[in-house]
Amino acid sequence: MRALSGIDETQARTCLDRKAFLFGHTLEAHPAMSLANLAEVIPALPANQVFHSNGRLQNGDDFDNAHNLHRPEESLAQALEQLRTTDAYIMVRQPEVHASFKPLYDALCADVARMATAAGLPPVVDDAMLYLFLASPGSVTPFHIDRYSTCLMQVRGHKEVVVYPPWDPRVVADRDTEQFFARTGDRPPWRPEAEPLGERFAFSPGQALHIPFAAGHHVRNGDDDVSISVSIIFKTAESRRLMRALLFNQRARRWLSRVGMEPRRVAMGAPGVATKAGLWNAARGIASVLGARGVA
Ligand SMILES: [Fe+2]
């Protein structure tokens, strides 16, 4: 069974992790995505896989531990009704640990592997996981980048997704990308002047959108209905190489700044990425042999 549809192989080859593109999916008809199944799965998952926020949360609240919206006595229908009337969202990480999601997960992994093959990459997708998002009408996901490649699938409601070109320093400065991947706690700031560079997608049920690795994006749900969407996030051999090169650059930038220099940038297609990734791997190997700490 294919979960994704309408993927143009030429588009996958030229655009995977380079440019956002739309295609289709069949998730609305999948039994895992029925409201009855979601109502069974979400409360049954470990609490640390279900996150929520609502309008009552303030900036600085302990968001990760504020997942009490789905109390066991509360039905999903009630929770969805709350979503309709309050500014809230529910995010579920790795629903595939529930048996009902495993076939969907396997089908999506196979489809994503086909995209990687079309792009000339090894048909291996690492660290693939699903996320479910249930969000209020009008709710906003602010600008951010992710450490994965993404395929986002809209199942209910509408949204506008704005995706920015990856590796464009007018959107995210090279240093900010490196800091983000090194998990220093810094997040790339939103630059309002980058707004015209974004590509806008009006996103409806049945549509899927590829968001390239490290591409900035923000989302606004439509005002008409609760939004339900699913994403599969994954890494490829190419994104892993870029990630290691970014970690190398983050360290190198620190050292070189002491002598007034900076490293050559890491970006898709930039020279030196494979070498930096290899050096980072070698450093990790040496550190693990020596039992050293502090090398990610
Ligand atoms: Fe994202």
Q: How far apart are CA 212 and CA 210, in angstroms?
A: 6
User: 213-224, pLDDT tens digit by residue?
Assistant: 999 999 999 998
Whether the Cβ atoms of residue 245 and residue 156 lie closer than 8 Å to each other: no
Centre of ligand 1 to C-alpha 168, Å, is 17
Centre of ligand 1 to C-alpha 200, Å, is 15
> What per-residue confidence (pLDDT) applies to 284?
83
Centre of ligand 1 to C-alpha 163, Å, is 10
Centre of ligand 1 to C-alpha 219, Å, is 9
Neighbours of ion ligand 1 (CB under 5 A): 146
User: Please, what is the average pLDDT of the chain?
Assistant: 87
The whole-model pTM stands at 0.88
Residue 144 pairs in a beta bridge with 217
Centre of ligand 1 to C-alpha 178, Å, is 17
User: 86-107, pLDDT tens digit by residue?
Assistant: 777 889 999 999 999 999 999 9
Q: How far apart are CA 10 and CA 36, in angstroms?
A: 38
Centre of ligand 1 to C-alpha 217, Å, is 7
Closest among 78, 212, 194, 90 to 143, alpha carbons compared: 194
Centre of ligand 1 to C-alpha 231, Å, is 9
DSSP string, 47-88: GGGEEEE-TT--TTS-GGG---TT-TTS-HHHHHHHHHHSS-
Whole-angstrom CA distances from 42 to 39, 49, 50, 139 are: 6, 9, 7, 21
Structure tokens at 160: 């506008």
Domain boundaries, the chain: 4-236, 241-292
Instruction: Choose the CATH number for 4-236 among 3.20.20.140, 3.30.2350.10, 2.60.120.10, 3.30.1240.10.
Output: 2.60.120.10
Centre of ligand 1 to C-alpha 225, Å, is 21
Centre of ligand 1 to C-alpha 124, Å, is 22
Centre of ligand 1 to C-alpha 105, Å, is 19
Radius of gyration over every alpha carbon of the chain, rounded to an integer in angstroms? 20
Centre of ligand 1 to C-alpha 161, Å, is 10
Query: What's the pLDDT band for 236 if we cut at 50, 70, 90?
Result: very high
Residue 141 pairs in a beta bridge with 219
Residue 53 pairs in a beta bridge with 89
